[in-house]
Chain A
Amino acid sequence: MAETKEKSLSDEKPKPRVRPIVRLGIFLISHSFLVSIVCCTAGVLALFLLPVLAKNTYISENALMPGSASPMLSNQHVSDGNRLVKDLTNPNSKSSETGIESHKIIAQYMLDLGAEVSFHKFHPQMNQFHPLHFFSSPVSGKIQENYSCSSYGINTVGIIRAPRGDGKEAIVLVTPYNALKSGFGEALSLGIAYSVFSLLTQVTWLAKDIIWLVADSQYGEYAAVAAWLREYQTPKFSSLSTPNAEMCPDVNNLFELKGHSISGSKFSNSFRRAGTMAAALVLKVRDQNEQFEDTISIYAEASNGQMPNLDLINVVNYLAVHRQGLRVNVEKLWPLLNSSWLKSLGEIFESLAKVAKSLYPKWKFGIPATEYVEGTATLASSLYYQALGVPTGPHGAFRDYQVDAITLEISPKFSLDKVWRNDILLRGGRLIEGVIRSVNNLLEKFHQSFFLYLLTSPSKFVSVGVYMIAFALLIAPLPMVAASLYVDANSSSNCSKGDSSTPSAITDTDEHGIAIRSWSPTTSFMIWVLLSILSLLTLNSVLASPLACAKATQEKEWALVKSVTISSVFIGLGLMSVINFATAEIGALLMVPMCLLARPLKLDVRAGTLRSFCRLICNLVLGHIAFPPAAFFLLKGMLDGFGNANVGDFWMWVESLWAWNSATYLFIGMVQLPCWVLCVSILFHTC
């Protein structure tokens, strides 16, 4: 509007005095086509440059001092751990149906060390969807009414009170354990944790309490940890209101038995707490391993792409690599490792870097092509898991309470002899000990290092300041194009102003995911598609009034719709980039080209030039790709092969997003799908 006026002025009169910033804006808007091409290309290019721009990690918090003390874990502790492993793998202990025996054994071991022990009984809780989770304070989970006594889990919790501490802080060590069908790996992880635990009861340097949580993973590792954390962080003051596990008779019997068999004052049936948690480590040992050396995998992604403080990963990485000689792994997208185009891209970057270095020796930014490919694969998986918004392990539950946590999965090269087992116990135990000792040194909670980052290897990261540039470049053309379209549309007509708002109102209906539980995913998906098309068409006929204006103004209507679409995409993407960057980045890659290119097909067909033909093709292709299910199939097909892609998969995927409270679900429903519908309505606009 403003710019219209300026334009009409400049046609007739000598240039009026315009503020420089406005003039700059007008310049950008009038060249929006060029600007958008340049920005989008630069944005995509910058995304591919990220592995090159990644920096080496460094330990930012001085107090951590990893590896400054020599490990104290000795063979004595290791043999203690071995004893526990043996007892647990002993077939006698598995006789009980509920697996209570193994919990008893663990509790007895903990008590013998002089730790405080308690059991935590929980019911696996159904996930509830909180759509306003990102706009407001977290809502404490509502307690479900219908408990059944048949399904409950038991977490065993052991607490060592620190001799030097005031009991206000704690470090949590979690070992998921399924008593009913535990593999050898789980027993081994308990052994490692026990050996560390037995050491920590003796040391004098401990300043934070140690909580060892043996999480009952028969209903899932995450559920057990989340239930314990919920209980830990939100104490219930009235026990009258809700029935809980204590009221079930058989559970009580078991614990009475327990009371007889386990003597000692340190056992309690009530819930035990220590201080605020400084950090949490989840320890797992994998059963089978194909690799030839002992590796340790780090999983860090919590819900909605939240990451723990980078320092925690740094400490683990430093101690594992430099002290214990373990290989550290972070998740990679394996199919990308073999892609040839990525390799050639890496070679191009490498040769460019060489040229740059020959020009000016101080420019050192190149990395070898193989490293580039690996970095890209890691970055892609980092982006993917963050975008999914589903935590990659039980550590995700901690992040909801602002506790930094990671899962360490040790995959040893497999053999069954005792020496090997002792070796794993020793090295794993020393690693855990070192990390706990570092965290024990902390004076404040983790705050020095980054929270917003993407990993390209265990020792390399891209910080928020760098990856935001790529995103910003990608979405920068949106406001300009929106403004220029708005200006153009307004300069010719004033009548169609109001109409632009109606289509966006219609598309809101899309988000009603109609919950159809009993049918198969494929049927539900199909029914959802049909219903949403139906409701869309109905609402379109009821609400939209395309003939409200005169014929002449209709030509410009699509431009206004496009302008509204683009501005809402811009707002949506900007918002999403704050909530979950990875989703926004992937969404921007899909949607920005589609929104920018969208133009009624009829116009292009009528024009008949080569350029309009190209645009027609691009529009059709992008219109298909940007449809969320289609994009999902395409990605899945590219990664897993198209053979096993199934229509129902998308439904399952969306359901899992829903169940995990993922922001991506909201993004797809509120931003991507409506904007796709708007873009398609522009494509099929009758003008």
Chain B
Amino acid sequence: MEKVKKKIGSFSFWNWVTASIIFRLILIYFPKNLNLSSRPEVSTPLTSFRRLAEGYWLKQSFMSPYAGSMYHGSPLLLSLLGPLTINRIEGQPNHLLYSLVSVIADVVSAMLIRATGQNLRLAYLRSLESLDLVKQIEVSEFLFSGDIAALIYLCNPFTIVACVGLSTSPIENMAVILCLYGACSRLIPLAAFGWVIATHLSLYSAILIIPVIFLLGCGPDSPPRKLFLQRHQQKEVLNQSKLPPRFSWGPVIHFAFWAFLWSVYVLVLCGISLKQFGGLWEMFKSTYGFILTVEDLSPNIGVLWYFFAEVFEFFRNFFLIVFHVNILFMILPLAIRLRHRPCYLAFVYVAICSMLKSYPSVGDSALYLGLLGWFVNELADMQFSLFLFCGYVGVSLLSPVMHNLWIWRGTGNANFYFATAMVYACLQIVLVVEGVSAMLNHDRKLRNLITGKPQDAKS
């Protein structure tokens, strides 16, 4: 995938950014033709703009915004974005203000991705230097992964569609990226704020706490610590300054403190805004509870809706547990294996969540595809890149067609659409599996370079 984008590096970064913003603005001015905000790929029950407007309206008329199972987002979004749902400018598209907010969110996310990518690249170069591998690996050919990741995020059709389709996922993505950026640049309050908001907006971001802890504890991605020790044993000089720092608990405790502070703050705000309408318990029930119990079975690009539409009622709880524990099961092994690369770990977690989420949308894919751009240099040897690229293109075109065939033409049925959802899930699995193995291979390659073994001793 990143291969196609490689050429971008030679173009001016800012030209591309401007082009992507202009493209968004053009699309915003023609919303009627595309009708993106009602597409199941874009707006899930959690991210739908129409539901947000409905929740805001309910709240304005002194009813609980969660009444009638319409709105399932955060009450804070209602207060912040709600007014934008009814403000109109004469002669302009209906939701211009809200669209502009999404565009700004996208641009901010891209800038944060860029800054983080530059951080990561510097850290990578530094660790290569301290391993004395600068010559073996041609550093001069290194791409500016920050720029590439930012451009992948901005120019990705998924991001554009999520932005123009008035879903709230640009804002959720921004919170996740904010969290990672804060952790990478060691701005602990910012990281804690990002994490708390991301968790508040969509439950699944909670597991990002593990990569954030690693990031704060040992610093950004670097080759395994073992390599450094080996290197220095060879040289028989133990230069402590060149070793990566050991895990330090200080920043982590600092982070925990801030996270606690921010979450209390957010909860108090939510509590105030929902005082008359059942309070926090109501909020937890219809946001987190709604996510965990998969109540809404309307079709989306995930696989859970179909499964839970089919499953017998008395097995439902069992399978709910199975599906959610599935995510939890993967946390620990991956954390152990990739602990030296916390940002990559964060990418893998985000990808897995967007695959096993109860209400996934293309906005989630946009996020992890953007994060993938950080690792262009490390993943240069990833397998099946052509297959994955074609697969993503094919599925993203086929899925709306299948939906059309099922819903509007009536010649297909639910299985048609679900088939594309399954293919999409498989593609994501292949992406994650191949990505992780490519990263591990990269680490092996570095080790072999150090120990002087031939490159392809074991791959």
Contact = CB atoms under 8 A, between A and B. Distances in A.
Interface residues of B, number: 35
Interface stretch (A100-108, A188-196, A373-381, A574-582): A574-582
B383 interface: yes
Contact of A136 (B400, B402, B405): B400
20 contacts: A1-B384, A13-B456, A134-B401, A135-B397, A136-B34, A137-B35, A137-B407, A306-B409, A307-B411, A402-B408, A452-B411, A497-B6, A497-B7, A498-B4, A498-B6, A567-B386, A571-B390, A575-B394, A578-B398, A579-B405
B456 A9 contact: yes
Interface in B415-436: 416
A571 B390 CA distance: 8
Interface string B30-46: 00111100110000000
Given A2-B383, A483-B386, 6 more contacts: A9-B459, A498-B7, A563-B386, A567-B386, A575-B397, A578-B405
A136 B393 contact: no
A349 to B, nearest CB: 31
Contacts of A372: none
Interface string B354-396: 0000000000000000000000000001111111001001100
A625 to B, nearest CB: 27
Interface string A106-148: 0000000000000000000000000010111111000000000
B387 A483 contact: yes
Nearest to B3: A497
B408 A138 contact: yes
Interface in A1-54: 1-2, 5, 8-9, 12-13, 16
B41 to A, nearest CB: 10
Interface string A485-517: 010000000000110010000000000000000
A508 B4 CA distance: 18
A451 interface: yes
Contacts of B407: 137
A136 B404 contact: yes
B333 interface: no
Contacts of A2: 383-385
DSSP class of A's interface residues: helix, strand, loop or mixed? helix
A571 B408 contact: no
Contacts of B397: 135, 571, 575
A567 B390 contact: yes
DSSP class of B's interface residues: helix, strand, loop or mixed? helix
A494 to B, nearest CB: 9
B91 interface: no
A524 B33 CA distance: 28
Given A12-B456, A575-B394, A579-B401, A136 B35 contact: yes
B410 interface: yes
B400 A402 contact: no
A278 to B, nearest CB: 13
A38 B204 CA distance: 49
A1 B402 contact: no
Given A498-B7, A574-B394, A578-B398, A451 B411 contact: yes
A578 to B, nearest CB: 5
Contact of A132 (B4, B33, B405, B456): B33
Nearest to B33: A132
Contact of A1 (B386, B398, B400, B456): B386
A55 B274 CA distance: 64
Contacts of B387: 483
Interface in B229-274: none
A306 B398 contact: no
Contacts of B400: 134-136
Contacts of A137: 35, 38, 404, 407-408
A203 B149 CA distance: 72
A12 B457 CA distance: 10
Closest 3 CB pairs of A and B: A2-B383, A498-B7, A451-B411
Contacts of A575: 394, 397-398, 401
Interface in A376-398: none
Interface of B: 3-4, 6-7, 32-35, 38-39, 381-387, 390, 393-394, 397-398, 400-402, 404-405, 407-411, 416, 456, 459
B115 to A, nearest CB: 25
Contacts of B7: 497-498, 501
A1 B383 contact: yes
A486 B381 contact: no
Interface in A624-659: none
Contacts of A12: 456
A575 B393 CA distance: 11
Nearest to A135: B400
Given A5-B383, A12-B456, A483-B387, A402 B394 contact: no
Contacts of A452: 411
Contacts of B411: 306-307, 451-452
Contacts of A138: 408
B119 to A, nearest CB: 26
Given A138-B408, A483-B386, A571 B394 contact: yes
A574 B391 CA distance: 12
B68 to A, nearest CB: 24
Contacts of B33: 132, 139
A59 B459 CA distance: 59
Interface string A556-588: 000000010001001100110011000000000
Interface string A659-671: 0000000000000
A2 B39 CA distance: 35
Nearest to B9: A498
A647 to B, nearest CB: 34
Contacts of A399: 409
Contacts of A402: 408-410
A649 B39 CA distance: 39
Nearest to A402: B410
B155 to A, nearest CB: 13
Contacts of A9: 456, 459
Nearest to B410: A402
A668 to B, nearest CB: 17
Nearest to A1: B385
A421 B434 CA distance: 75
Contacts of B416: 578
B390 to A, nearest CB: 5
B106 to A, nearest CB: 22
A595 to B, nearest CB: 15
Contacts of B459: 5, 9, 16
Nearest to B387: A483
Nearest to A5: B381
Contacts of B402: 578
A1 B390 CA distance: 14
A138 B38 CA distance: 12
B34 A132 contact: yes
Nearest to B400: A135
A675 to B, nearest CB: 15
A331 to B, nearest CB: 20
Contact of A135 (B32, B390, B404, B409): B404
B124 to A, nearest CB: 20
Nearest to B456: A9
B364 to A, nearest CB: 20
A306 to B, nearest CB: 6
A13 B458 CA distance: 10
A479 B35 CA distance: 33
A574 B394 CA distance: 8
A8 to B, nearest CB: 8
A5 B384 CA distance: 11
Contacts of A578: 398, 401-402, 405, 416
A498 B409 CA distance: 40
Which one of A13, A132, A135 has the highest number of Cβ atoms from chain B below 10 Å of its Cβ? A135
B444 to A, nearest CB: 13
A136 B6 CA distance: 32
Contacts of A482: 386, 390
A486 B386 contact: yes
